[in-house]
Structure 1
Amino acid sequence: MNKLIPLHAGHFSCDGGALFSVIPKPLWSRVYPADENNVTRLTMRCLLVKQGDRNILIEAGVGNHYPEKVKQNNGHEQTDVLPQSLQEHGFSVEDITDVVFTHLHWDHCNGAVLEENGHLKLLFPNATHWCSQRQWEHVPEASVREQAAFYPEILNFLKTEGNLQLVEQEGELFPGFGVRFFDGHTPGQMIPFIESDGKTYVYMSDFIPTKAHIPLVWLASYDLYPVTAMEEKASFLKEVADNDYILFFEHDFYTECATVEWTSKGPKLKETFSF
């Protein structure tokens, strides 16, 4: 049986207009706060899936690879706390057997690699790392708009030193742990579907970054293909409502989990809660 343990990997921030794209601020600010500079607070919420001797970590945070200006611009807070968060639950970085990246943007995978005195090292030395083959092949072809989200030196280090495995097909990656691909945010975003205690938990990553993004047209400007993202979300959320899936939010600072119902006007937030 899969045991699920949320882990804290730090906070960051972004412009509210970027987070909600064409949605006017008077609408989105009612459900997701911003400060006087229009800055919204986000979090990095990893998920540890324990099944027997296997300890699977979903995502790894941002890491320590950035100059001070970058950290200030992105509102980095507590971005070195993932090992401590593991320790608080009785685990060490050496205990992690697998690290699953939903995609390879900096705030999802760079934390799996540390920089010490100009050299790179793995944070999880005993782990196999996983991402979709489609996302890996997309990285060198990324447009100027997306290139800054990828750090090739870190990704190549993961490939050569981190036993990075490329997932070609949707399906079960581990027992009770399946993955499916969604392309609206970035090609080959790999979303985990995890069975635990008779329920299905879906790790949302940037597919639906906060509960405020449940309405179909509420997309982030970071989505490369907004029409595709909206179509994927419509089909997915209908499935969520029909099957009582639980959404687990990686980036929502205020909400960990939610359920959804389907109405005559489309998807609607049903209930929010924490583990």
Structure 2
Amino acid sequence: MKLIPIHAGHFSCDGGALFSVIPKPLWSKVYPADENNVTKLTLRCLLIDAGERKILIEAGVGDHYPEKVKRNNGHEEVDALPKSLAAHGYTPDDITDVLFTHLHWDHCNGAVINDGENYRLLFPNATHWCGKVQWEHSKISNMRERAAYYPEILNFLKDEGNMQLVENDGELFSGVSVRMFDGHTPGQMIPFIEFDGKTYVYMSDLIPTAANVPILWLASYDLYPVTSMEEKESFLKEASKKNYVLFFEHDFYNECATVEWTDRGVKVKETFKL
């Protein structure tokens, strides 16, 4: 097995959105913002090369948006994903499976190509996977979250991308299991990868950056913040005890981290590249 970070571009968001009720004098010490309070985020996918299976976690945002939307979201490099795959010796045709942790625009829309008239699959040979609860939730979400879903793209993936809906926690592939978390959005599917004697966890929006590790440092995007805190606390106690490697999808500055539990709660132990 090989684990390969795959770059799918960068984007940005307001620092207050990334850290919710945490005051800027605190969070800005560990995660910078510009003069407009804008923070840099990245779109970091993970390729699991398991021989015959080539499993890609997430697919970035794609190129479906007018210039105003791209400008407001700091979205750059619309073709970064296939370029990054090529730089590592892969093509989109090589990918056998694509795992979506959830169906917000920045996690799955890049799996679909928009040529201006028609949709096409970026990964034509892949089976696409997401949680069943998340799929059902995407159809009924409230107005606060609804803008994060693009129904036409999701329906195309379901109809043409052999979308499989995962109902329960457990192993999907040899060495790759998933667990469902509901605080950020119902049915967020977090992958756990057993590799080289360690467990690597793809954090998605459960913990978007290393700076979000403290229990109270939630993003405003979480639909159910109390649930998020409870899920984070339980997961991070487990992660510190078992020395999991946390792989961050959105952290512009840190790719991976381990954590430790102290008398003052959880903290980042060390950060490093995969």
Aligned residue in 1 for 2:211? 212
Query: Does residue 1:153 correspond to 2:134, yes or no?
Result: no
Partners of 1:119 and 1:14 lie apart in 2 by 30
TM-superposed deviation, 1:140? 1.3
Matches within 5 A, 1:102-121: 102-121=101-120
Aligned pairs for 1:77-88 within 5 A: 77-88=76-87
Structure 2 partner of 1:54: 53
Contact 1:20 1:218 in 2 (8 A): yes
Q: Distance in 2 between matches of 1:76 and 1:160?
A: 27
* 1:24 equivalent in structure 2: 23
Alpha-carbon distance in 1 for matches of 2:69, 2:134: 24
Unmatched runs of 5 consecutive residues or more in structure 1: none
**Alignment partner of 2:219: what SS?**
coil
What residue is the counterpart of 1:237 in the other structure?
A: 236
List aligned pairs for 1:1-275, cutoff 5 A.
2-275=1-274
Distance 1:79 1:3 in 2: 26
Distance 1:186 1:156 in 2: 19
CA drift at 1:117: 2.8
Inter-partner Cα distance in structure 1 for 2:155 and 2:172: 23
TM-score, normalised to structure 2, is 0.99
Distance 1:241 1:72 in 2: 39
Tell me which stretches of 4 or more aligned residues in structure 1 moved more than 2 Å. none
Instruction: Classify the secondary structure of the residue corresponding to 1:165.
Output: strand
Letter in 2 for 1:237: L
Q: How far, CA to CA, are the matches of 1:35 and 1:236 in structure 2?
A: 32
| Bigger mean CA offset, 177-186 vs 80-89 | 80-89
Residue 274 of structure 1 deviates from its aligned partner by 0.1
Worse-matched range after superposition: 6-15 or 76-85: 76-85
Tell me the CA shift for residue 273 of structure 1: 0.2
Unaligned runs of 5+ in 2: none
RMSD: 0.5
- Deviation, 1:265, is 1.5
Contact 1:56-1:99 within 8 A present in 2 as well: yes
Q: SS where residue 233 of structure 2 aligns?
A: helix
Q: What do residues 156-176 of structure 1 show as CA deviations (whole Å, max 9, x unaligned)?
A: 000000000000110000000
Distance in 1 between the 2:202 and 2:88 partners? 20
Paired letter, 1:104 = L
**Structure 1, residues 182-201: CA drift from partner, whole Å, max 9, x if none?**
00000000000001111100
| AA at the equivalent of 1:229 | S
Q: What is the alpha-carbon distance in structure 2 between the residues aligned to residue 187 and residue 154 of structure 1? A: 19
- Output one character per residue of 1:120-162: Cα deviation in whole Å (capped at 9) or x when no partner: 0000000000000000010111000000000000000000000
Aligned residues: 274
Q: Which amino acid aligns with 2:227?
A: T
SS across alignment from 1:108: helix
Partner Cα separation in structure 2 for residue 140 and residue 96 of structure 1: 27
Q: What is the identity, as a one-letter code, of the residue corresponding to 1:219?
A: L
The one-letter code of the counterpart of 2:239 is: V
Q: Report deviation, 1:78.
A: 1.2
Contact kept, 8 Å, 1:11 with 1:79, in 2: the verdict is no
Instruction: Tell me the distance in 1 between the aligned counterparts of 2:215 and 2:117.
Output: 44
Q: Which amino acid aligns with 2:154?
A: L
Return the alpha-carbon distance in structure 1 between the equivalents of residues 113 and 89 of structure 2.
Answer: 22
The alpha carbon displacement at 1:87 in A equals 0.7
Secondary structure of the residue aligned to 1:150 is coil
SS at match of 2:246: strand
TM-score scaled by length of structure 1: 0.99
Tell me, in whole angstroms, the C-alpha distance in 1 between the residues paired with 2:30 and 2:125.
Answer: 41
Alpha-carbon contact 1:61-1:79 (below 8 Å) kept:
no
